[in-house]
Amino acid sequence: MTIYNGSNGSLNLYYKGLLISSFALTKKKTFDVYKYQGEHFILTSMKENIKVKQIIYTCTYFCNLIYTRKKNKQAIRKSDHELFLGTLFALMKLKIIDNDETNGYLIMPKKKT
What proportion of the chain, given as a percentage, has pLDDT over 90?
88
Distance CA 73, CA 57 (A): 24
Domain map of the chain by residue range? 30-99
> Average pLDDT, stretch 9-25?
95
Mention every residue, 6+ apart, whose C-beta is less than 8 A from residue 98: 92, 104
* Residue 113: per-residue pLDDT: 67
Ordered alpha helix ranges (H), the chain = 31-47, 52-71, 78-93
> Average pLDDT, stretch 83-112?
92
Q: What is the DSSP letter of 73?
A: T
Q: Kindly report the pTM of this predicted structure.
A: 0.92
Contact 12, 113 (CB under 8 A): no
Partnered with residue 106 across adjacent β-strands are 12
* Residue 111: per-residue pLDDT: 77
For 43-96, the pLDDT digits (tens) are 999 999 999 999 999 999 999 999 999 999 999 999 999 999 999 999 999 999
> Average pLDDT, stretch 10-36?
95
Contact 85, 34 (CB under 8 A): yes
| Helix axes 78-93 and 52-71, enclosed angle (nearest 10) | 130
